[in-house]
Amino acid sequence: MKIGIIGAGNIGGNLTRRLTALGHEVSVANSRGPHTLTALAVETGATPVAASEAAKGARIVVVTVPLKAVPDLPDGFLAGAADDVVVIDTGNYYPQQRDGRLAAIEDGLPESRWTEQQINHPVIKAFNGTYAQDILDQGKPQGTPGRQALPVAGDDAAAKQTVRDLIDELGFDTVDAGGLDESWRQQPGTPVYGNRGDADAITKALAEASPERTAEWRA
């Protein structure tokens, strides 16, 4: 599968490593330009590209940049993607630590719904509460008892299944976390955020989430 990854930080870099190892054709971009991704390209075989080129021909595009940087993504960056491209949003709102105040999110808009509005394309929320190192170290074969599970939220059932299948290939179970309007259940500060549990534990954690954003996660 052709996969574009925009953002080469901890999550983006480790997804590049794992997905290339699984045989996918990966293009990877960051905000500083492809010349800064030479080492990752040599290590993985991924193709370093400009952010405006990362989605070309891609079936899946992973947007894994700081939330405050989402509005700065190149205009039309998805224009050359596959007609049925699935966009994965891994982002989190860190107002005090990084992003500053984003009024719509402060007013209760789910973080991934905000991202969707910025890029004018539906997204599937996944990997946002996952430790980056786990992507490399914690994958297990399907059916392994206690296999770590990741929540996946989104409105399009087919797109969500594409993401769940990819996560399964990476070695993790998944739990359907509902539509994007329910994706607050996996935002920072919720019981599922950073939770390494199996599918039952993740299902329970999603159910226990509160829509009230705590002070630590407000501007």
pLDDT tens across 114-133, in order?
999 999 999 999 999 999 99
Q: How far apart are CA 190 and CA 68, in angstroms?
A: 21
Beta-sheet pairing, 47-48 with 25-29: parallel
Helix (H, G, I), strand (E, B) or coil at 167: helix
Confidence band of 29 (pLDDT split at 50, 70, 90)? very high
User: What integer is the mean pLDDT of 153-169?
Assistant: 98
Is residue 130 a contact partner of residue 11, using CB atoms and an 8 Å limit? yes
At 48, is the secondary structure helix, strand, or coil?
Answer: strand
Could you tell me which residues come within 8 angstroms of residue 31 by beta carbon, excluding any fewer than 6 positions away? 51, 65, 69, 72
Q: Please tell me the predicted confidence (pLDDT) of residue 27.
A: 98
